A and B are shown apart, each in its own frame.
Chain A
Amino acid sequence: SQTIHQWPATLVQPVGSPLSLECTVEGTSNPNLYWYRQAAGRGLQLLFYSVGIGQISSEVPQNLSASRPQDRQFILSSKKLLLSDSGFYLCAWSSSWTGVEQYFGPGTRLTVT
């Protein structure tokens, strides 16, 4: 069966510091991968999606970036965090580009202080 992992589970970082969040998927190959951000009490905002290694599409302009160095690895990064980057970051995967049946990871709670 497929599983999706995210780490760290929680992170507290000062403003201006770098960020690296990792997501890995097991039990499937060539998944579509997604990064979402969820502000407190809010809905899901799609940040990035990837249909293959090295292929990244950005949904919103921001100081975040994403990379996919391996088929089942998706990384969310920032060179300098802002207070507004605080939130709950969710990675998800699906087996087709239409986004049918997305499955979410456990999330990373990021607090920028």
Chain B
Amino acid sequence: GENVEQHPSTLSVQEGDSAVIKCTYSDSASNYFPWYKQELGKGPQLIIDIRSNVGEKKDQRIAVTLNKTAKHFSLHITETQPEDSAVYFCAASNDMRFGAGTRLTVKP
């Protein structure tokens, strides 16, 4: 089955800086790569996703890039704000294996 590695496990940035979280996957047949944001005590919320037919997707301050050859994809958050603080999870189809999560802290 799919194996998804996510790093770093924790990330602390200053407000206004950028944050990058990276994931690698093992199954070359995977074609869908979502990112989830989980706030304390809540369920994960889908924030952005990318499919294998594109290399980059942006939505305001967040973007995801995909390198199918290298089998890795990344989440980029620019102009970080304190409300971006949360745990972020990546996942890869075909059987939706999740990474272990990254705890992002944005310091005001």
Contacts and interface: CB of A to CB of B under 8 A. Distances in A.
Contact of B32 (A98, A106, A109): A98
Interface residues of A, number: 18
B29 to A, nearest CB: 11
A100 B49 CA distance: 10
Main secondary structure of the interface of A (DSSP, over half): loop
A107 B42 CA distance: 7
Interface string B11-38: 0000000000000000000001010100
A44 interface: yes
Nearest to A43: B100
A101 B34 contact: yes
Nearest to A36: B98
Interface of B: 32, 34, 36, 41-46, 49, 89, 91, 93-101
